[in-house]
Amino acid sequence: MSTSKIQIIEAGRDAEAAPSQPSSAAGYKVFNRIIDWITNDRLQLLNITERINEIVRKSGIRDGIVHLQSLHTTSSVFINEWQDALLQDVKNFFEQIVQREQYYRHNDPEYSDCERKNADSHMRGMLMGQTLCLQVRNASVLLGTWQSIIFAEFDGPRSRSLAVQVSGV
C-alpha cells in the first residue's frame, strides 16, 4: 500500500500548460506537474507524501504553497496518520458514513446512464474533497509529525491523475 508498490508515472501530457521552464515573475514561480497511478481496489488508501515532497524539491521553491487536486470526482486527498490499524478504521468509516447499498438515482437505469453504480463513491469524494493545499517552508512540505498526505480511491481499480502545483519563491 506504500507508494513504492504503486505504479506512478510523472506525466508529460500537460506539456502545453506546464512547459519545462516554470512560469515566473522576478523570483515568483509556478511549477506544474501531473502524476498518475493505477489503483488496485475499489476502496484504497495511498500514502503520497514522499512523491509530493519530491516534486516540491524539484520545483526549487523554498516558501509558498503546494496545491493538490485529484482530477476525479470519485476520489479524494486529505491528511491523516499513516498507521495500519487506523487505515482500516478509516475505510470502515467511509463505508459507514456513506452506505453503498441504499437506493441512489445515479445507480438506477431509469434515471441515469452510469454503469458503474458508483453513487456512494461520488458522495465519499464530495464529502472528503478533491483538493488539498499545504504550506511549503524551507523547500519542503510542512507537515506535523504524524501527518501524511493520503490519496483515497473510492471507485477503483482505475487509472488516476493528480495535478500538483507549487507556487512561491
User: Cell 519563491 appears where?
Assistant: 169
Interface stretch with a copy of itself, choices 4-12, 35-43, 46-54, 110-118 (CB under 8 A): 110-118
Binding string to a copy of itself for residues 32 to 71, with x set by CB under 8 A, is what? x-----------------------------xxxx-x-xxx
Q: Give the binding range for a copy of itself (CB under 8 A) out of 4-12, 35-43, 47-55, 143-151.
A: 143-151
**Which of 6, 64 has the CB closer to a copy of itself?**
64
Report the alpha-carbon distance of residue 71 to residue 59 in Å, rounded: 21
Q: What minimum distance in Å lies between the beta carbon of 17 and a copy of itself? A: 4
Closest to 116 in 3D by CA, of 99, 100, 93, 92: 100
Among 116, 146, 157, 159, binds a copy of itself (CB under 8 A): 146
Q: Are 28 and 167 in contact (CB under 8 A)?
A: yes
Measure the CA–CA gap between 159 and 152, rounded to whole angstroms: 13
Question: Applying CB under 8 A, does 21 fall inside the site for a copy of itself?
Answer: no
Pick 64 or 156: Cβ nearer a copy of itself: 64
Q: Are strands 28-38 and 159-168 parallel, antiparallel or unpaired?
A: antiparallel
Which positions from 80 through 109 interact with a copy of itself, judged by CB under 8 A? 80-81, 83-86, 88-90, 93, 97-98, 104-106, 108
Three-state SS for 85-150 is HHHHHHHHHHHHHCCCCCCCHHHCCCCCCCCCCCHHHHHHHHHHCCEEEEEEECCEECCCCCCEEE
CB of 49 to a copy of itself, least distance (A): 13
